[in-house]
Amino acid sequence: MVRLLAVAITIVAVVGLLVGVSLIGNSFRFSQTAVTIPGPDGDLAGVLTVPTGVESRGVVVMVHGDGAVEASQGGLYDPWFEGAADAGFATLSWSKPGVGESEGNWLSQSMDDRAAEVSAAIEWAIGAVDVPTDAIVLWGASQAGWVVPKVVRARDDIDAVVAVGPAINWLRQGRFNLLSELEREGVSAEERRVAVEESDKTRELLERGAAYSVYRTTTADPEAMSEDRWDFVLRNHGADATADLAASASQKLPVLLMVGNADRNVDVAETERVYGLIFGSSLIVRHVDGAHSLARSIVEDNEVIGTITAVLWPRALLGAGVIDDYTSFLSAVAR
C-alpha cells in the first residue's frame, strides 16, 4: 500500500512538473486578437499580435510557404510573434484561403494571386486604426520567396524583408529536394534512376500543359497529386524569382536571409549566391544549424522529440539564435 502511494505521488509530481513546464514554455510576451481581412477572393481569418506594455512601431506581415497553413501555424509561429514583439513590432498573419475560416481555395492561386492577396492585406492594415504601419516588414518562408519580391517591386511602402529558406527556381528546387531525399533514404543507383525518370516524365507533362487525366494515366507515383494540386503546380511550375528580386533591389531595402544548413528542400547555396549578387550590401545572411523551417534537425527528423518540444517548450523548436537574430534585425528597421 505504501509503495502504491509512493508511485501515485511520483506520478502526480511528474505530471504537475510537466504541466508547469508547459505553462511556462507556452507563455509568450505578446497579446493577440482575431481579425478579418478582406481578400481578393473573400474574407481571410487572421490574427494581429502586438507587444504587451509598449506601443508598436510597425508591423510584420507574414507570407506563408506551401501547404494549407493556418494563421498561427498551430502555435508554431509564436516564437516569431514574440521575437517581433520584443523589437516593438506587431505581426499580421492570416489563414490561407480555404483554411479554417478563410474563404477561397489556396490551390487555385498563382504566385501573382498570392502577391495580390498580400497587398490587399497591407492595404487593409494601413486603413485599420489599430494596426501600426509606420514601418512595414515582409516575412516570407519557402514558397513565399516567389511572392514577396512581387509585392516589394509593386509597392513603395515596404521597409524591410525577412526571407526564410526561399528558393529561386521552382523546377530546380523540386529536383534538389528529390535528390536530397533520395540521398537521405540511401536508395540504390537503380532506385535513384527510376525516381529521376518519373520526375522527368512529370516535368515533361507540366511543360506540355497536360490535363490531370493525362498525368494520372502516366504517373507511377504511389503518392500522386490530387487534381487541385496538379492544377496548382501546373499554374506555378515556371516560377523563377530572379527578375522580381532584381526589380525589388532598386528600393535598397535591408534584407535578412535566414537559411538552414541542413535544408533538404531548397538549394540554399544557390539562393545565397543569387541574393548576394542582387542585393549586395543590403543583404544580411544568417546560417542556422537547422532544417528548411529553421527547426533544429533533431526535432525535424524525430517526430516524438518534435511533438514533445512543441508541446512543452516551443521556443526550443528553432535553431540557436534564430529569434535573437530576427529581433535584432527588426530593432534596426526604421522609416
Residue 152 lies in a domain: yes
DSSP, collapsed to helix, strand or coil, labels residue 272 as: helix
Residue 18 lies in a domain: no
Pair 126, 200 in one domain: no
Q: What is the pLDDT of residue 309?
A: 73
Q: What is the pLDDT of residue 202?
A: 96
For the chain, the average pLDDT equals: 91
Pair 155, 195 in one domain: no
Pair 147, 189 in one domain: no
Phi then psi dihedrals of residue 53, to 5 deg: 85, -10
Residue 23 lies in a domain: no
DSSP, collapsed to helix, strand or coil, labels residue 62 as: strand
Q: What is the pLDDT of residue 1?
A: 60
Mean predicted confidence (pLDDT) in 150-164: 97
Last residue of a domain, one of 236, 262, 280: 236
Residue 185 lies in a domain: yes
Q: Domains in the chain: how many in total?
A: 2
pTM above 0.85, yes or no: yes
Round to whole Å and give the CA distance between 224 and 178.
15
Q: Are 320 and 302 in contact (CB under 8 A)?
A: no
Task: Indicate whether 21 pLDDT > 50.
Answer: no
Short-list 211, 209, 183, CA closest to 195: 183
Q: Order across the sheet with 283-288: list the strands.
A: 31-39, 42-50, 89-94, 58-63, 136-141, 160-164, 255-260, 283-288
Residue 8 lies in a domain: no
Residue 320 lies in a domain: yes
Last residue of a domain, one of 236, 252, 281: 236
Last residue of a domain, one of 221, 236, 251: 236
Round to whole Å and give the CA distance between 60 and 48.
10
Residue 111 lies in a domain: yes
Round to whole Å and give the CA distance between 29 and 27.
7
Pair 135, 60 in one domain: yes
Q: Which domain holds residue 231?
A: 172-236
